[in-house]
Amino acid sequence: MMADGYLRLMEDVLRDLSHLDEYVPGRGVDEVAREHDLDPDEMVKLASNENPLGPPPAAMEELRENVEEASVYPTALHADVKEEVAKYADAPVENTVLGAGADGVFDTVCRACIEDGDDILCPEPGFSYYRMAAENVGGAANSYPIPKEDGFRYSADAVVNSYSGEKIVYLTSPNNPTGSVLSLDEIQQVADEVDGLVFVDEAYWEFSSRDSAVDLVDRGDIAVARTFSKAWGLAGMRFGYAVVPDELAEAYRKVVTPFSVGTLTLYAADAALQDTDHVEETLELVEWGREYLTEELDAHVYPSEANFVLIDVSPRTAEEVAKELERRGVIVRDTTSFGLPECIRVNVGTRDDTKRAVKEINDVCG
Ligand SMILES: *Cc1c(COP(=O)(O)O)cnc(C)c1O
């Protein structure tokens, strides 16, 4: 019991969040195993676009070696790793910022740019966190289409035609969950024709055949975000970065959480950057897997330059198909929450896991 008049009611403390939704993650192995009474070791998870080869061996070793530093704040280490990341991205270190995942970077950029009444523009279907990060600081999100009727072709014209003064325009290339890409020419076209910041999300860039938009950042109106969660195999460590224009880099430093990236995370990221064998092996596997999925699945597979493909399972619904696959020990992403109730998204797994997934999907849909 709370004494009346001494404590505010929680509802007076909270702001009105009734218009917001929680992030819907892909389902985890333990959760699904428990629900269907399956052995977690026998399950295949291809629902969150994680690296099927696990973390880079060099990163695991570095984590073990430096575990005692978990008690200290990273200061010099943060600066050192930022320098390595900038070198890898081929960007000036002054323009490079780090965060707890690309999501942490989006949060911080929104904190620097968005206030009550400001809007952002993002892809539909697309990654839901852009909207959440803007709403968290009082902003709102509008969208532009990547239309299914058009085979999910991503076009600069669709972005420009939907633009109505938003402060940040997100371009996701390759896009999640469609796998479609924008060319650098189209990214520049968008930047030429809109006001505000064009924020290019290159979370899946390593898997694509495209040049990076990092070289466009010195125009002053383009920023590029990347992550170590996908190609680099460190999703659980939460490490992302962005290359941003000068003024935004300065603002970022003013609003970022102190020590937003953990000491062990920095060690792991630094070691990962030295272990290029692991990334190369990952890219080779993904190239094999995209082709295998595209050729061997009986359902329609959309072209993808990421580490996953989007599959049309109609006339079945994604919900039915995903449930049935779970009972068979294969976890895929039902894309209903992306507004695509007739599609599932499946990332490339190990060769064995990818083959097993194809067999089960063909069985369920066949
Ligand atoms: C996975 C993903 C991210 C990165 O997430 P992290 O916070 O770095 O784990 C960013 N954008 C898109 C489109 C993604 O799919």
Query: Residues 152-175: pLDDT tens digits?
Result: 999 999 999 999 999 999 999 999
Question: For the chain, what is the domain count?
Answer: 2
Burial of 44 (0-12, 13-18, 19+ CB in 10 A): buried
Name the residue with the closest Cα to ligand 1, atom 12: 203
| pLDDT for the residue 20 | 86
Q: Is 201 in the pocket of ligand 1 (CB under 6 A)?
A: yes
| pLDDT for the residue 6 | 64
For the stretch 223-226, contacts whose Cβ atoms lie closer than 8 Å and that sit 24 or more positions apart, written own/partner, are 223/109, 223/197, 223/198, 223/199, 223/248, 224/89, 224/199, 224/200, 225/102, 225/105, 225/106, 225/199, 225/200, 225/201, 226/89, 226/102, 226/202
For residues 349 and 51, the answer to whether their CB atoms sit within 8 Å is no
- Strand ranges for 53-186 from DSSP E: 96-99, 119-124, 140-145, 168-172
Element (H, E) at 200: strand 197-201
| pLDDT for the residue 221 | 97
Question: 296 is written with which tokens?
Answer: 């061997």
- 99 plus 216 within the same structural domain: yes
Helices and strands counted in the chain (H then E):
13, 13
Q: Is 118 in the pocket of ligand 1 (CB under 6 A)?
A: no
Burial of 316 (0-12, 13-18, 19+ CB in 10 A): middle
Q: Is 103 in the pocket of ligand 1 (CB under 6 A)?
A: yes
Sequence-distant (6+) residues with CB within 8 A of 225 are 102, 105, 106, 199, 200, 201, 202, 203, 240, 241, 242
- 178 plus 237 within the same structural domain: yes
- 222 plus 80 within the same structural domain: yes
Tell whether 76 is covered by a domain.
yes
**Domain of 118: which CATH number?**
3.40.640.10
Distance 13 CA to ligand 1 centre (A): 31
Closest approach atom of ligand 1 to CA 239: 8
Instruction: For the beta carbon of residue 199, count every other beta carbon within 10 angstroms.
Output: 27
Name the residue with the closest Cα to ligand 1, atom 15: 176
Query: Which pTM value belongs to this model?
Result: 0.96
Tell whether 294 is covered by a domain.
yes
- 135 plus 220 within the same structural domain: yes
| pLDDT for the residue 2 | 54
**Which of the listed residues 228, 247, 274 is the one where a domain comes to its end?**
274
Sequence-distant (6+) residues with CB within 8 A of 34 are none
For residues 346 and 361, the answer to whether their CB atoms sit within 8 Å is yes
Q: Is 265 in the pocket of ligand 1 (CB under 6 A)?
A: no
Q: Which residues pair with 226 in a beta bridge?
A: 241
Q: What is the span of the domain harbouring residue 193? A: 57-274
For 124-152, b where at least 16 C-beta lie within 10 A, e where not — what string? Answer: bbbbbbbbbbbbbbebebbbbbbebeeeb
For residues 135 and 110, the answer to whether their CB atoms sit within 8 Å is no
Q: Give me the average pLDDT of each 10-residue run along the chain (366 residues).
A: 65 86 83 92 95 98 97 94 98 98 98 97 97 95 97 98 98 98 98 97 97 97 98 98 98 96 98 95 98 98 98 97 96 96 98 98 94
**Which of the listed residues 259, 274, 289 is the one where a domain comes to its end?**
274
- 291 plus 229 within the same structural domain: no
Q: Is 51 in the pocket of ligand 1 (CB under 6 A)?
A: no
**Which of the listed residues 213, 245, 274 is the one where a domain comes to its end?**
274
For 305-314, b where at least 16 C-beta lie within 10 A, e where not — what string? Answer: bbbbbbbbbe
Question: 337 is written with which tokens?
Answer: 């929450």
- 70 plus 180 within the same structural domain: yes
Q: Is 229 in the pocket of ligand 1 (CB under 6 A)?
A: yes
- 188 plus 261 within the same structural domain: yes
Full strand arrangement of the beta sheet holding 96-99: 96-99, 240-243, 222-227, 197-201, 168-172, 119-124, 140-145
- 299 plus 254 within the same structural domain: no
Closest approach atom of ligand 1 to CA 229: 9
Q: Is 240 in the pocket of ligand 1 (CB under 6 A)?
A: yes
